[in-house]
Structure 1
Amino acid sequence: MSKARVLFLCTGNSARSQMAEALLRKYAGDHFEVYSAGLEPKGLNPYTVKVLEEIGVDTSQHYSKTLDTFMGKVHFGYLITVCSNAEENCPIFPGMGMRMHWPFEDPAAFVGSEEETLQKFREIRDQIDARVREWLKEMNIPVN
């Protein structure tokens, strides 16, 4: 049985889409092939790495990718945009299945002390975690 492919898309592919990719893979990697990309990749944010590692998620294979990496080359059963910019500017392309929008605040845009910034990244990580779990529950897929 082949796995459905899921693409999480945001602007920079540095935080939100990376978190969603990692969390869906953690909880249901045996059900989905999970990817992420950005409209304008900025590189993996070090705070993203830190907050994912805090909950036991390995990010050593993660890197920032552009949407062009996949356009016209990979069929996705699900495209999930995690920011309004990506939702508004993502082109429609062949091989795209169901499209969904899960808007989250951009923690990379937050301005504050190191501890405040870390807390913002944790807050967004936890919101994404809850949304991923909710989606899996809606689809009757047990969380590993």
Structure 2
Amino acid sequence: MKLYPTLQTYIEKAQALPIPKERREVLQVLINYIQLKVNEGQEINLNFICTHNSRRSQFSQIWGKVAAAYHNIEIHSFSGGVEVTAFNERAVKSIQKFGFKVIKEGEGNPKYSVSYTDYEAPIIAFSKVFDDSNNEAKNFAAVMTCSHADENCPFIPGADARIPVRYEDPKTFDDTEKEAEKYDERSLQIASEMLYVFSKIKKL
């Protein structure tokens, strides 16, 4: 698969990042889920969930799809929240810096077409609740990317697994001199971990 050149460079940076033992243990639950679906010949549906579906869950949906495609594994990657806000513009700027091509449509809660190659359909990213009609999958893993959503959503209808993979919120650094650095740092961490996850999947 031919990725955009800048994106390919950032993927190489992400792959070079060390993943601490405690994070590998967290990610192993997700690896086991995906591997079971592969072994049973079932669709792999991942719904990354965070409270506002504006930062971490959006990063995770995008990088999950790209990491799976990079390792030639077919998945359906979704994201959602418990409140509708918008895909945060700071996060959008970060993925643009990383080499994604982004087209914005609308205002308020715009839809973004996020492309990583010219040979696949773009990822459609916007803020929505986790059971939005755009998240069509049944029998999906609810991948909980923030502690608030994980603790306040005791039941996710349609999920056949619930997997906490929590990330620190770059929102903490909004309107500070470290803002862009921290958004890029979080995006790169998520890229690194999603690439690690799919590198461990054994195809039949």
TM-score, structure 1 normalization: 0.83
Hey, what does 1:124 align to over in structure 2? 186
The Cα shift of 1:94 comes to 4.0
Structure 1 range deviating more: 103-112 or 128-137: 103-112
CA contact (8 A) 2:67 2:191 kept: no
Aligned pairs (5 A) from 1:127-138: 127-138=189-200
Specify whether residues 39 and 58 from structure 1 end up closer, same or farther in structure 2 by C-alpha distance, changes over 3 A only: farther
Partner of 1:80: 143
Amino acid at match of 2:49: L
Following TM superposition, the consecutive aligned residue runs of length 4 or more in structure 1 with deviations greater than 4 angstroms are none
Q: Measure, in 1, the Cα distance between the counterparts of 2:95 and 2:127.
A: 15
Q: Report the equivalent of 1:69.
A: 132
Offset at residue 6 of structure 1 (A): 0.6
CA distance in 2, matches of 1:127, 1:140: 23
* 5+ residue gaps, structure 2: 1-40, 103-112, 114-123
Structure 1, 76-85 or 56-65: larger mean CA deviation: 56-65
1:37 to 66, 69, 80: 80
CA contact (8 A) 1:45 1:108 kept: no
Residue 7 of structure 1 corresponds to 47
Name the amino acid aligned to 2:130: L
Contact 1:26 1:57 in 2 (8 A): no
Deviation at 1:123, TM superposition (A): 0.9
Residue 50 of structure 1 corresponds to which residue in structure 2?
Answer: 93
Structure 1: any 5+ residue segments left out of the alignment? none
1:131 is displaced (CA, Å) by 1.5
Are residues 76 and 24 of structure 1, via their aligned partners in 2, closer, same or farther at CA, if it must alter by over 3 Å?
Answer: same
How many equivalent pairs are there? 139
| Identity across the alignment (%) | 28
Give distance in 1, aligned partners of 2:101 and 2:78. 15
Task: State the TM-score, normalizing by the size of structure 2.
Answer: 0.61
Q: Which has the larger radius of gyration?
A: 2
Aligned to 1:80, the other structure's residue is in SS state strand
In structure 2, distance between residues paired with 1:54 and 1:39: 28
**CA offset at residue 91 of structure 1?**
3.7
Q: CA deviation at 1:64?
A: 0.4
Contact 2:142 2:162 in 1 (8 A): yes
Select the residue among 11, 16, 34 that pairs with 2:56. Answer: 16
- DSSP 3-state at the match of 2:45: strand
Q: 2:201 aligns with which of 126, 133, 139?
A: 139
